[in-house]
């Protein structure tokens, strides 16, 4: 029985399969460790791997063995391709053992003795990524002095990827039905291999992220190389931004948050690339240089120049007391059977806003109103009026208060 040389711990296929006896004129080729590894991780537990190796080939037919035992590699997706001499090197067959072992034997024909660079590509599972952010706010709460982005990668694939170039892709993967499996792979591979021509691209130095936009997908390249070891997590830096203007807004919406005002931070994404979804942690540098933890929220995908909004939770420092001050029912309508079928009602509300802080605060009050209604009067002009709501935007002085009185009329139909 012939002795073959194993070249890896992965699966590779992409040509027809057959089974036939050995030939006395076959050379057994060895493959060097990967000279380049590119790991593209999508959302949804799917990754596309490209490994480049040098293969020592002799004139004639060569045999190379490749195994993938203990990994989550999709054996039906594996492909081997000659990169330097595609005309002199052809992959004739891929032979699977009859006993079902997790390896494959390639039969490669070469027209001359060559040290050929080949690429092995395949889909695998078990690689996951999540972005996250740390924001440091100044004591005055008007500036984010430092915003640091990072990405955490977890490897459960069964294989180490050392000195890997990492590409992260965010965006929905819609081709999930089994009958569209091949189309899904074609689209995902095209995204991973997309060339830079015509795409939006920028490298930020000394930061370590660059971004390309491909249709509805967004591609993030981590600069440099990283070791992504099996059964481990690795945290990689994405970028650091400095001195971002910050807006603090308090919001009151009884239907959404109950009787408490909620504190928000708002700022613009000043980077030339979008921010992937992920948790953001808020810290504040005190005058004595210590850091206090203020809270945490999760941001959605934020485009370049888009607004980031962080919910820091309810607070007792800004308060709104809402009271119904008057109610009138009129214009009653009856059916021929003398059943009440409709009427008009008028409601008068008082909103008393109090600020217990030693600085001016901006407060947005949203009053949600159902049914057919109209505004009959208001002591302060609303900043927004729409079909289902009124909004008021107020500046409350330090340790001060403001009142709003408004009057609405509603048409009520019972049937």
What are the tens digits of pLDDT across the range 35-58?
A: 999 999 998 889 999 999 999 999
Question: What pTM did the predictor assign?
Answer: 0.75
Position 196 scores a pLDDT of: 41
Residues of the chain with CATH 2.60.40: 318-413
Q: Which of 17-26, 87-96, 318-327 has the lowest mean pLDDT?
A: 17-26
Distance in angstroms (rounded) separating the CA atoms of residues 252 and 361: 13
Asked whether the beta carbons of 308 and 284 are under 8 A apart, the reply is no
Each residue's pLDDT tens digit, 276-332: 899 999 999 887 888 999 999 999 989 889 999 999 999 999 999 999 999 999 999
Question: Does the domain made of 318-413 have the CATH classification 1.10.357?
Answer: no
- What stretches of 43-183 adopt beta strand conformation (E)? 46-57, 60-67, 79-82, 89-95, 103-110, 114-124, 127-137, 143-155, 161-170
- Helix (H, G, I), strand (E, B), or coil: what is residue 219? strand
Q: Edge-to-edge, what's the strand order for the sheet holding 401-413?
A: 318-334, 340-355, 401-413, 372-378
Answer whether residue 23 shows pLDDT above 70.
no
Neighbouring CB atoms inside 10 A of 12's CB total: 28
Averaged over 216-238, what is the pLDDT? 89
Asked whether the beta carbons of 37 and 163 are under 8 A apart, the reply is yes
Name the CA dihedral angle for 14, 59, 86, 186, rounded to a multiple of 10 degrees.
Answer: 10
Position 207 scores a pLDDT of: 29
């Amino acid at each position: 029985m012939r002795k073959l040389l194993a070249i890896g711990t992965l699966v590779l296929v992409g040509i027809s399969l057959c089974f036939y006896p050995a030939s006395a004129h076959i050379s057994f080729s060895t493959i060097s460790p990967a000279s380049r590894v590119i790991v593209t991780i999508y959302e949804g537990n799917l990754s596309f791997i490209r490994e480049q190796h040098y293969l020592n080939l002799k004139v004639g037919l060569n045999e190379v063995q490749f195994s993938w035992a203990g990994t989550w590699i999709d054996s039906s997706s594996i492909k081997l391709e000659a990169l330097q001499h595609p005309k002199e090197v052809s992959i004739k067959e891929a032979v699977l053992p009859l006993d079902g072992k997790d390896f494959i034997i390639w039969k490669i024909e070469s027209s001359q003795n060559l040290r050929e660079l080949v690429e092995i590509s395949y889909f695998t599972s078990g690689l996951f990524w999540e972005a996250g952010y740390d924001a440091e706010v100044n004591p005055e709460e008007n500036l984010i002095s430092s915003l640091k982005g990072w990405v955490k990668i977890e490897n459960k694939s069964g294989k180490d990827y050392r000195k890997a170039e990492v590409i992260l892709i965010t965006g929905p993967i819609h081709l999930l039905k089994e009958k569209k499996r091949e189309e899904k792979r074609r689209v995902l591979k095209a995204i991973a291999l997309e060339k830079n021509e015509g795409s939006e691209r920028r490298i930020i130095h000394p930061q370590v992220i660059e971004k390309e936009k491909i249709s509805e997908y967004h591609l993030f390249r981590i600069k440099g190389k990283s070791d992504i070891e099996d059964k481990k997590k690795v945290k990689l830096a994405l970028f650091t931004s400095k001195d971002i203007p910050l807006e603090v807004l308090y919001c009151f919406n009884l239907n959404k948050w109950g009787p408490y005002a909620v504190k928000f931070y708002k700022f613009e994404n000043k980077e030339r690339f979008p921010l992937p979804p992920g948790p953001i942690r808020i810290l504040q540098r005190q005058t004595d240089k210590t850091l206090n933890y203020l809270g945490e929220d999760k941001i959605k995908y934020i485009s370049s120049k888009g607004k980031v909004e962080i919910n820091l939770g309810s607070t007792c420092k800004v308060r709104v007391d809402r009271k119904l001050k008057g109610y009138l029912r009129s214009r009653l309508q009856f059916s021929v059977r003398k059943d009440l079928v409709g009427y008009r009602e008028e409601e008068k509300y008082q909103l008393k806003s109090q600020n217990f802080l030693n600085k001016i605060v901006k407060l947005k009050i949203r009053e949600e109103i159902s049914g057919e209604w109209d505004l009959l009067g208001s002591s302060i002009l609303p900043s927004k009026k729409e079909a289902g709501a009124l909004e008021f935007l107020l500046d409350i002085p330090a340790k001060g208060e403001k009142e709003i009185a408004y009057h609405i009329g509603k048409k009520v139909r019972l049937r």
